[in-house]
């Protein structure tokens, strides 16, 4: 019945707004539906204006979804206000039952995914607050005592922060000394100190993208394909978050335009269904596929 379907759609919204990680299998079990029906529900949410985010194997609803924006209009907090309130709650009486309730609400709606250590929470909230200010006012900051597991060093870094990522756990910055764009973990920063200087390298700032195949990079490539019914169905089932990239074409085929960070993921998909897919572009992807096919012939 339609009421049952609506009930599951509402329950799915509740699940995807909790401060928890759910895989497709988890959601199917909680809703009592098949994976195919789950993807139908997710497609409906996208059509209704929700931002359905898939990070790895986990799904959630983005708080910038049009539905939530309309719902919260006039009562929502800014990022600065939310961080400030979160810091005040850290100093509040833990015996007050409202305190953990309010913390959970802020964590859920503002993506504060920080640990239960109160001292670490305070430091992380302070660092996020300073980074938000630096991004807003295009200021340079000093990441004091940044611990890097790759170089096994603890150093100070002068950076131009320009994008908070992954629920405020990471920040994308232009590092002035190296002249490179890097992603820094907020939890590895001893402190964030404002510097009396504004950005001088904004033209060199490069965001990092993650495509539907979970490959990341600063550059994106536009891929155009014509899919038959089989490849279209498999793509929609395996990558439902990219269903909006599909459009009906002639001869019962589907046009797929998608931006990728690497040819590897989309290449594996195309080569696995090569007889059902026509590659329109780009030129680099065509060359990549040709090289792969020639390599297979030589093996």
Structural domain for 253, as ranges: 210-298
In a domain? residue 116: no
Number of folded domains in the chain?
Answer: 4
In a domain? residue 114: no
Whole-model pTM?
0.50
In a domain? residue 118: no
For 236, what's the count of Cα atoms within 13 Å in the CB-facing half-sphere?
Answer: 21
In a domain? residue 56: yes
CATH value at residue 14: 1.10.10.10
Are residues 133 and 185 both part of a single domain? yes
pLDDT (average), residues 270-292: 95
In a domain? residue 115: no
CA dihedral sign of residues 194, 198, 204, 209? positive
Are residues 20 and 38 both part of a single domain? yes
Whole-angstrom Cα distance, residue 17 to residue 148? 32
Angle at 82 between CA 81 and CA 88, to 5 degrees: 90
CATH value at residue 134: 2.30.30
Mean pLDDT for all residues in the chain: 84
Are residues 219 and 282 both part of a single domain? yes
Are residues 97 and 155 both part of a single domain? no
User: For 40-79, what is each residue's pLDDT tens digit?
Assistant: 888 888 877 788 888 778 888 876 666 666 665 555 566 5
User: Last residue of a domain, which of 170, 204, 238?
Assistant: 204
In a domain? residue 190: yes
User: Last residue of a domain, which of 183, 204, 225?
Assistant: 204
H-state helical runs in 217-282: 229-238, 263-272
Are residues 67 and 135 both part of a single domain? no
Are residues 278 and 224 both part of a single domain? yes
pLDDT bin (cut points 50, 70, 90) of residue 115 is: very low
Are residues 51 and 24 both part of a single domain? yes
Whole-angstrom Cα distance, residue 215 to residue 264? 8
In a domain? residue 29: yes
Percent of the chain with pLDDT over 90: 45
Are residues 36 and 93 both part of a single domain? no
pLDDT on residue 126? 87
């Amino acid at each position: 019945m339609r009421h049952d379907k609506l009930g599951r759609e509402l329950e799915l919204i509740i699940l995807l707004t909790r401060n928890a990680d759910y895989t497709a299998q988890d959601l199917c079990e909680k809703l009592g539906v098949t994976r195919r029906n789950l993807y139908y529900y997710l497609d409906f949410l996208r059509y209704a204006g929700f931002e359905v985010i898939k990070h790895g194997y986990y799904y959630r609803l983005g708080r910038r979804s049009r539905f939530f924006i309309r719902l919260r209009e006039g009562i929502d907090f800014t990022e600065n206000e939310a961080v400030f309130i979160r810091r005040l709650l850290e100093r509040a009486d833990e015996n007050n039952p409202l305190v953990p309730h309010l913390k959970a609400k802020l964590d859920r709606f503002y993506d504060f995914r920080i640990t239960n250590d109160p001292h670490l929470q305070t430091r992380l909230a302070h660092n996020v607050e300073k980074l938000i200010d630096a991004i807003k006012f295009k200021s340079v900051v000093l990441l004091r005592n940044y611990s890097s597991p790759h170089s096994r060093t603890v150093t100070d870094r002068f950076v131009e922060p320009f994008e908070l990522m992954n629920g405020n756990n990471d920040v994308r910055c232009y590092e002035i000394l190296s002249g490179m764009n890097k992603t820094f973990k907020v939890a590895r920063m001893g402190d964030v100190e404002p510097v009396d200087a504004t950005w001088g390298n904004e033209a060199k700032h490069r965001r990092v993208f993650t495509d539907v195949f979970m490959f990341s990079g600063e550059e994106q490539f536009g891929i155009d394909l014509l899919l038959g019914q089989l490849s279209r169905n498999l793509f929609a089932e395996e990558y439902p978050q990219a269903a909006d990239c599909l459009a009906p074409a002639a001869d019962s085929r589907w046009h797929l335009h998608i931006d990728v960070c690497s040819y590897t993921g989309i290449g594996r998909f195309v080569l696995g269904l090569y007889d059902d897919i026509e590659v329109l572009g780009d030129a680099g992807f065509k060359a990549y596929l040709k090289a792969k096919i020639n390599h297979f012939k030589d093996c």
